C-alpha cells in the first residue's frame, strides 16, 4: 500500500491538507513577538544615538548628541516625547524661557571605552546649575541638592567614576538629570541652564584635563581672591588711617568686593534660593563700580561732590530697579546696568590716564598697561555674555581682571611706602630745622631778656648816679667850701672824687684809653706833689686808640689810687714813677717808689693790709693781675697787667 504523498511545505505557499483559517492564524504575531517588538522599538533611539553621536578616540568617546526631555521625574521618562539636541546644549537657545529639570539620554558602546585594567570615568566640563548621572538606570553621581536651594556647580567641572560592574560589553545608556535656570532669571549668561559635551574614557586620561579645568575655574580664582582679600584689607586700613591717601581705601574695597563676587566659583551651597543669589550678585556691582571710579578719581587727585552723590545714589537705584523688574526680567535689567557701569569705569580710567599723562607722572605707563589689560578682559567678557561665545579666551579673560589688580595693588603699596619714607625724611629734616629754630629763638629770647635786664639795670644805675651827683655831690661840695677844718675839707674832697668815680662807673659810659691815661696822670702827679713826693710819668711810646669800658676804667682808677695812697702813707719815698706800656695785647702799668719798702715783719701778710688785697681782687675781676715787689733799700714796685680784650668796650 503506498503512502500518501506529502507536499513539501514551501514558504509562501499553502499546505495542501490544512484549512485556510489555520494558515491565517499562523501568520498572526503572538504576544511574545509583540513584547520583543516593543523592546526593539524602545531601543531604537538608543541604537540610532549610538550609531550617530559618539566620536570614537583611541581610548574614549565624546558624546555630542543626546535625547532631551523636559521633566522633573525621578527617572528618565521613557514614554515622554524626546527630541535630539546637540551638545553642548545651551538652554537660552534650545529652550528659551525654560527653568526646571531636563533629562538627557545618551548611549555608548562599552567595548569602545574599555580600559585595560583601569577605571572608566565621565568628564562633564560644565553642567549648570547641577546634575545627577545614571548609568544603565543606576545612580552613580550627584552634584548636590537638586531642589531649591540648588547646589550651584556652573563654574566647576565634574569627573564621574563609572563602575566597571555596571558597564555592559554592548550598548550602555547614560542618563543625566540637569536642573537649571532660564537666561531671563539670571544676572549672567554663564549661569543659565546648559550642558557641555560628554567625554567617556579611562580616568587616567581624563584626570589631567579635569585637574587643569579645576585650576582655571576654581583653584586659581580662589588663590587670587585670597590674595585680593589680604591685599585689599591691608590697603583699606592704610587708606582709612591716612585720609590723604583715600584712594588706597577705595582700592582695598574694590579688591575685597571683587573677591566676594568671585566667591560664586567655589561657594556651591548657599543658604538661599538661586533668584536671591543672582539678585545679590548683581547688587554688588554698583558698589564695585563706586569703589573703582572713586579709586581712579582720588588717585588722580580729583574729587567732586556731585560724582560722590551720584555713585552713592546709583548703589540704591540699581537694586530697586532689579526688584521692580522681577526675577523674570533680571537678565535684561542687569545687562543694561552692566553696560552703564562699564561706561562709568571706562570714563574714569580715561580721565585718570589723561591727568597722569598731562602731569608726566611716572605711574602713567604701568597703570595704562594694567588698565588696558583689565579693559580687554572686560570687553571679552561682555562679548561672551552678549553673543554666547565659549572660547578658551573667556576663561583667561575672567582671570585677567582680578589678576591685574594684584600688581596694581603692589604698585600702590610701593608708592605709598616710598611716599612714607620721603615724608619721614622730610619730617626729620623739618624737626631738625624746628629744633634749630627753637634753639635760636631761645638764644634770642635769652639775649633779649639779658638786654632788657641790662637796660633796666642801666636805667637804674643812671638814676642812682644822678641822685648821687645831685644830692650827695652837692652836699660834699658844700662841705669842701664851707668847712673850717682843713682835714674835713680834704676828706670831703676825697669823698667827692670817689663819688664822681662811682657815678662815672654807674653811667656805664666808655672812656677812650688816651683820656683815661690823661686822667690817671693828672691825679697821679697832683696827689704826689701835694704830698711832697716827686712824680715821674712815662707815657706809652704810641698813642693808644682803644676804648675802655666804664667798669674797667673805674676798677683801674681805684687800683692806681690805692697804690698812690700806699706810697704817700707808708713808703717814705722822695720820688715815685709810673711807666705805661703795651705788650702782647695787655696794658701794663708799673709804679715804682724809692721808699724804704715793705718791712720784713709784714712779708707774707701783704694781702691783709695796705689795700693790697683789694688791689689784687680788682685786677682779677678784670682778668688781669697785680704783682707787688719790695725789699729793704729797694723800694716797692707794683706791676699791674690788664688784658685790653676784656677791658675794651664791645661795639
Asked if residue 600 has pLDDT above 80, the reply is: no
Residue 293 has which C-alpha cell?
571710579
Indicate the range of 45-54, 332-341, 420-429, 558-567 predicted with least confidence: 45-54
What is the DSSP-derived secondary structure letter of residue 648? B
Beta bridge partners of 63: 198
Indicate the range of 368-382, 419-433, 451-465 predicted with least confidence: 451-465
What distance in Å separates the CA atoms of residue 487 and residue 456, rounded to the nearest whole number? 40
Which class for 90: exposed (0-12), middle (13-18), buried (19 or more C-beta within 10 A)?
buried
Indicate the range of 91-105, 349-363, 448-462 predicted with least confidence: 448-462
354, HSE (Cβ side, Cα atoms, 13 Å): 8
pLDDT tens for 242-267 read 888 899 999 999 999 999 998 888 88
Q: Read off the pLDDT of each residue in 31-37 and give the average, rounded to a whole number.
A: 41
- H-run or E-run covering 547: strand 547-548
Asked if residue 3 has pLDDT above 50, the reply is: no
E runs forming strands in 100-207: 100-109, 120-124, 127-128, 130-135, 138-142, 158-162, 171-180, 194-195, 198-202
The per-residue pLDDT for 615 is 87
Q: Are the beta carbons of 185 and 273 closer than 8 angstroms?
A: no
The per-residue pLDDT for 87 is 93
The per-residue pLDDT for 53 is 42
The per-residue pLDDT for 157 is 93
The per-residue pLDDT for 562 is 86
Which residue in 42, 50, 90, 43 sits closest to 66, CA to CA? 50
Torsion of CA 562, 564, 565, 571, to 10 degrees: 120
What distance in Å separates the CA atoms of residue 154 and residue 265, rounded to the nearest whole number? 8
Q: Which is more confident, 585 or 602?
A: 585
Asked if residue 234 has pLDDT above 90, the reply is: yes
Return left, alpha or beta for 633; rule: phi > 0 is left, psi -120 to 50 is alpha, else beta. left
Q: Are the beta carbons of 51 and 106 closer than 8 angstroms?
A: no
What distance in Å separates the CA atoms of residue 196 and residue 179, rounded to the nearest whole number? 14
Indicate the range of 114-123, 314-323, 344-353, 545-554 predicted with least confidence: 114-123
Q: Three-state SS for 268?
A: coil
Beta bridge partners of 127: 195
The per-residue pLDDT for 585 is 80
Asked if residue 183 has pLDDT above 60, the reply is: yes
pTM of the prediction?
A: 0.62
The per-residue pLDDT for 648 is 57
Beta strands 534-538 and 575-583 are: parallel
pLDDT tens for 94-111 read 999 999 999 999 999 887
User: How many CB atoms lie under 10 A from the CB of residue 650?
Assistant: 7
Sequence-ordered list of residues with C-beta below 8 angstroms from that of 482, at least 6 positions apart, any chain: none
Q: What percent of the chain has pLDDT over 70?
A: 78
**Helix, strand, coil percent values for the chain (each to nearest 5):** 60, 15, 25
Phi, then psi, of 54 in degrees rounded to 5: -65, 140
The per-residue pLDDT for 323 is 93
Q: Are the beta carbons of 5 and 17 closer than 8 angstroms?
A: no
Residue 397 has which C-alpha cell?
579673560
What distance in Å separates the CA atoms of residue 129 and residue 123, rounded to the nearest whole number? 16
Tell the residue number behind the cell numbers 564695585, with chain if given.
288
Q: Which is more confident, 565 or 386?
A: 565
Tell the residue number behind the cell numbers 556691582, with chain if given.
285
Asked if residue 18 has pLDDT above 70, the reply is: no
Instruction: Measure CA of the first residue to CA of the last residue in the chain; give whole Å.
Output: 182
Q: What percent of the chain has pLDDT over 90?
A: 35
The per-residue pLDDT for 13 is 34
Sequence-ordered list of residues with C-beta below 8 angstroms from that of 499, at least 6 positions apart, any chain: 468, 469, 472, 473, 476
- H-run or E-run covering 538: strand 534-538
pLDDT tens for 355-393 read 888 888 888 888 888 888 888 877 777 776 666 555 566
Calculate the average pLDDT of the chain.
81
Confidence tier at 33 by pLDDT (50, 70, 90): very low
Which residue in 590, 602, 597, 601 sits closest to 634, CA to CA? 597
Amino acid at each position: 500500500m503506498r503512502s500518501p504523498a506529502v507536499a513539501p511545505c514551501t514558504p509562501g505557499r499553502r499546505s495542501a491538507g490544512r484549512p485556510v483559517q489555520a494558515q491565517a492564524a499562523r501568520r498572526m504575531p503572538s504576544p511574545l513577538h509583540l513584547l520583543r517588538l516593543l523592546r526593539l522599538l524602545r531601543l531604537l533611539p538608543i541604537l540610532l544615538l549610538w550609531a550617530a553621536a559618539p566620536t570614537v578616540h583611541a581610548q574614549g568617546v565624546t558624546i555630542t548628541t543626546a535625547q532631551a526631555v523636559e521633566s522633573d521625574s525621578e527617572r528618565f521618562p521613557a514614554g515622554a516625547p524626546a527630541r535630539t539636541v546637540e551638545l553642548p546644549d545651551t538652554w537660552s537657545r534650545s529652550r528659551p524661557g525654560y527653568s526646571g529639570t531636563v533629562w538627557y539620554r545618551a548611549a555608548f558602546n562599552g567595548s569602545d571605552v574599555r580600559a585595560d585594567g583601569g577605571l572608566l570615568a565621565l568628564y562633564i566640563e560644565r553642567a549648570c546649575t547641577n546634575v545627577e548621572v545614571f548609568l544603565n538606570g543606576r545612580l552613580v553621581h550627584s552634584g548636590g541638592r537638586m531642589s531649591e536651594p540648588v547646589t550651584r556647580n556652573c563654574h566647576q567641572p565634574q569627573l564621574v567614576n563609572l563602575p566597571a560592574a555596571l558597564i555592559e560589553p554592548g550598548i550602555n545608556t547614560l542618563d543625566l538629570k540637569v536642573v537649571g535656570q532660564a537666561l531671563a532669571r539670571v544676572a549672567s549668561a554663564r549661569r543659565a541652564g546648559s550642558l557641555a559635551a560628554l567625554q567617556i574614557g579611562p580616568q587616567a586620561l581624563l584626570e589631567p584635563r579635569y585637574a587643569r579645568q579645576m585650576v582655571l575655574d576654581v583653584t586659581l580664582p580662589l588663590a587670587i581672591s585670597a590674595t585680593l582679600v589680604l591685599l585689599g584689607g591691608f590697603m583699606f586700613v592704610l587708606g582709612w588711617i591716612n585720609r590723604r591717601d583715600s584712594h588706597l581705601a577705595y582700592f582695598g574695597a574694590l579688591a575685597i568686593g571683587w573677591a566676594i563676587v568671585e566667591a560664586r566659583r567655589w561657594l556651591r551651597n548657599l543658604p538661599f534660593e538661586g533668584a536671591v543669589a543672582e539678585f545679590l550678585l548683581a547688587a554688588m556691582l554698583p558698589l564695585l563700580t563706586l569703589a573703582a571710579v572713586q579709586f581712579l578719581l582720588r588717585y588722580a587727585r580729583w574729587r567732586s561732590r556731585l560724582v560722590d552723590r551720584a555713585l552713592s545714589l546709583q548703589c540704591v537705584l540699581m537694586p530697586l530697579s532689579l526688584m521692580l523688574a522681577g526675577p523674570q526680567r533680571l537678565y535684561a535689567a542687569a545687562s543694561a546696568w552692566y553696560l552703564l557701569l562699564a561706561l562709568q569705569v571706562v570714563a574714569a580710567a580715561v580721565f585718570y590716564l589723561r591727568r597722569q599723562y598731562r602731569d608726566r607722572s611716572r605711574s602713567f605707563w604701568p597703570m595704562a598697561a594694567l588698565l588696558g589689560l583689565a579693559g580687554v578682559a572686560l570687553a571679552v567678557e561682555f562679548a561672551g555674555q552678549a553673543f554666547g561665545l565659549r572660547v578658551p579666551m573667556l576663561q583667561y579673560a575672567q582671570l585677567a581682571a582680578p589678576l591685574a589688580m594684584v600688581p596694581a595693588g603692589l604698585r600702590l603699596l610701593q608708592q605709598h611706602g616710598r611716599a612714607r619714607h620721603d615724608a619721614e625724611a622730610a619730617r626729620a629734616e623739618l624737626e631738625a630745622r624746628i629744633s634749630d629754630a627753637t634753639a635760636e629763638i631761645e638764644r634770642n629770647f635769652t639775649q633779649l631778656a639779658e638786654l632788657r635786664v641790662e637796660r633796666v639795670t642801666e636805667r637804674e644805675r643812671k638814676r642812682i648816679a644822678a641822685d648821687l651827683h645831685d644830692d650827695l655831690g652837692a652836699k660834699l661840695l658844700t662841705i669842701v667850701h664851707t668847712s673850717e677844718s682843713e682835714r674835713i675839707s680834704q676828706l670831703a674832697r676825697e669823698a667827692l672824687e670817689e663819688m664822681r668815680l662811682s657815678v662815672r662807673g654807674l653811667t656805664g659810659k666808655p672812656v677812650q684809653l688816651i683820656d683815661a691815661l690823661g686822667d690817671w696822670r693828672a691825679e697821679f702827679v697832683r696827689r704826689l706833689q701835694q704830698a711832697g713826693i716827686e712824680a715821674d710819668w712815662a707815657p706809652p711810646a704810641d698813642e693808644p686808640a682803644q676804648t675802655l669800658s666804664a667798669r674797667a676804667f673805674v676798677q683801674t682808677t681805684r687800683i692806681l689810687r690805692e697804690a698812690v695812697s700806699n706810697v704817700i702813707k707808708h713808703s717814705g719815698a722822695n720820688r715815685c714813677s709810673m711807666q705805661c706800656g703795651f705788650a702782647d695785647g695787655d696794658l701794663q702799668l708799673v709804679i715804682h717808689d724809692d721808699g724804704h719798702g715793705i718791712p720784713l715783719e709784714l712779708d707774707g701778710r701783704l694781702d691783709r693790709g695796705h689795700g693790697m688785697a683789694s688791689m689784687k681782687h680788682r685786677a682779677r675781676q678784670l682778668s688781669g693781675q697785680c704783682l707787688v715787689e719790695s725789699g729793704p733799700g729797694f723800694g716797692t714796685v707794683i706791676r699791674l697787667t690788664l688784658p685790653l680784650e676784656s677791658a675794651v668796650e664791645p661795639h
